[in-house]
Amino acid sequence: MSPFTTRILDIRTGRTETVTDLTAACEDFLVEAAAGRDGLLNVFVPHATAGVAVLETGAGSDDDLLAALRDLLPADDRWRHRHGSPGHGRDHVLPAIVPPHATLPVVGGRLSLGTWQSVCLVDTNKDNPDRQVRLSFLG
């Protein structure tokens, strides 16, 4: 069993701002990659306009995050980066606030998350409906 294993997930986020829960896909990957071992899972988004967040989903926190990002990074004409749809420059600032990666503990082959924590892809870019997420296990 290799101490390092990686897989690419292809995610369709569509043309709206989204928070996509990746937790089940991470767990599925770890069944094979970790095979019961301890280690670290790195989740990385190779895009300049998306990020990875660990937060509660399903109880409104994911919508609250998108609302907070809209308040903090309005989709208007203030941005110097101006290609794409109006306000697209804000999408390029997003990874400075919601980083494009997270490294998470794996114990006994399973993610060691808190009770309400989920691993999520955060995508505010309406111009790019297709995303990749790289999952890498080191253990």
Domain containing 127: what range?
A: 4-138
pLDDT tens figures, 58-80? 899 999 999 999 999 999 989 88
CATH of the domain at 117: 2.60.120.460
pLDDT-based confidence at 3, cuts 50/70/90?
confident
pLDDT tens figures, 21-42? 999 999 999 999 999 999 999 9
CA distance 139 to 24: 20
Q: What is the pTM of this model?
A: 0.94
CA distance 60 to 29: 27
Number of structural domains (the chain) is 1
pLDDT value, residue 90: 93
Quick check: 120 and 62 in contact, CB under 8 A?
A: yes
Token pair of 128 as six digits? 């790019």
